[in-house]
Amino acid sequence: MAEPSVLDLIRLEDKQDTSSHRVAVRVLGRYAPGDLFGHDCLDAEIVMTAPGVRAVFELTLLPEDLEQWEAALEALEAGRGAHWMTSGRTPDLRVRRTEGGGFLVSVHDGPGSGVTVTVPLSNPTAGLVYRQRDLLDEVRRAYPREVAETRSGREWIRSGA
């Protein structure tokens, strides 16, 4: 199966025609395709837009980062906020709920520029959390894990083995 050139892992935005506020995590491809130590890592970027603002933060996603995003979605689904990518090796993303039913989405680039950008989503699209689960599933289908950690190191996972 051919891998897509760009695929959204996260797409948080206001309803169409209410604002142009948007936060997306875009998967650009495998970090090091064919390399045993980088094949399952993904090149990605966080793109934040609002009128007059466009911020882009580069990052590399490890397989466990996808698992942590799934846990963050569980927190959002339970009505709490979420904090993702908290290892300190990349920019982190925080989603906080507001009293009016919206969200404040912040990215802090601690290891790089030190900049924090926050985009308010006052009228988020319906089913926002469910849509994020669908996007996560799409990324996992497009970029399945193909390397396994073993006692002796890393090995390729063989289809049908």
In percent, the amount of the chain with pLDDT more than 90 equals 70
Please check whether residue 84 is in contact with residue 69, taking contact to mean a CB–CB distance below 8 angstroms: yes
The pLDDT confidence band at residue 4, using thresholds 50, 70 and 90, is low
CB burial of 87-125 (b: ≥16 within 10 Å; e: otherwise) equals: eeebbbbbbeeeeeebbebbbbbeeeeeeebebbbebbe
**Cα separation of 102 and 124, whole Å?**
6
- 10, 25, 119, 145, 161 from 79: Cα distances, Å: 18, 22, 19, 30, 41
Please check whether residue 95 is in contact with residue 77, taking contact to mean a CB–CB distance below 8 angstroms: no
**Architecture, CATH, for domain 7-156:** Roll (2.30)
pTM summary value: 0.89
Residue 161 pLDDT: 36
**Cα separation of 87 and 85, whole Å?**
6
Residue 96 pLDDT: 96
The pLDDT confidence band at residue 2, using thresholds 50, 70 and 90, is low
Domain range annotation of the chain: 7-156
